[in-house]
Amino acid sequence: MEVPILRGRWVQLEPLAEEHRDALRIAADDERIWVHTLVNARGPQFNQWFDDALAQRDAGCQIPFAVRQLADQTLVGSTSYLDPVPRHRRVEIGSTWYTPQVWATQVNPECKLLLLVHAFDVLGMNRVSLCTDLRNTRSQAAIEKLGAVKEGILRSHMVTQGGRIRDSVLYSIVIADWPAAKEQLAARLSINPHSA
């Protein structure tokens, strides 16, 4: 699944490449980012996270992006399409993290809008899922603001850093939900949904 640069008003999603490594390492250097994640990519672990994202990309399992904030051209995080299944026209959005300086700004909603528009309107997906740690209430609230439907809890779903067994909350937006979700997300960003 080839994906171009996705550009919005506040952010640009660039397919992850070696040129992003050093700037993302700086963006990732805050312990708060990694509290609810499967890995801690801070400090010496960053190269392993970055190399794994590229390996997963090369294996066709993940399409990782670097998130560039357009106002100052800095890299502020990463997000991905995960587990694309073109035959069934489904994909997951995940492995998302941002430097805390952009939490509760337009960065996350616009990233999600760009990814969702590309998934539904360009790639013709029927389903986009999102999954987060049951303990991560901040992430759950952000996903619910997208208009995603909570489908349930996946018990003992993943092993996190430190070996904790994670329960995950599964959400989705399906093609029937997409027009209303797109409208709602565009309204949050004060943009015309038909130009998104």
Residue 180 identity (one-letter amino acid): A
Given a cut of 70, whether residue 196 has pLDDT beyond it is: no
Q: Which residue has the tokens 């309204």?
A: 187
**pTM summary value:** 0.93
Beta-bridge partners for 170: 131, 152
Distance, CA of 193 to CA of 170 (rounded, Å): 26
**What is the pLDDT at residue 195?**
62
Delimit the domains of the chain by residue range. 6-188
pLDDT digits (tens, 9 = 90+) for 105-139: 999 999 999 999 999 999 999 999 999 999 999 89
**What is the pLDDT at residue 194?**
64
pLDDT digits (tens, 9 = 90+) for 5-51: 999 999 999 999 999 999 999 999 999 998 878 788 998 899 999 99
Q: Name the residue among 69, 27, 73 with its Cα closest to residue 49.
A: 27
Neighbour tally for 191: CB within 10 Å: 16
Distance, CA of 181 to CA of 159 (rounded, Å): 31
CA angle 73, 26, 48 (to 5 degrees): 120
Distance, CA of 132 to CA of 112 (rounded, Å): 15
**What mean pLDDT value characterizes the chain?**
93
Distance, CA of 162 to CA of 105 (rounded, Å): 30
Given a cut of 80, whether residue 191 has pLDDT beyond it is: no
CATH for 6-188 is 3.40.630.30
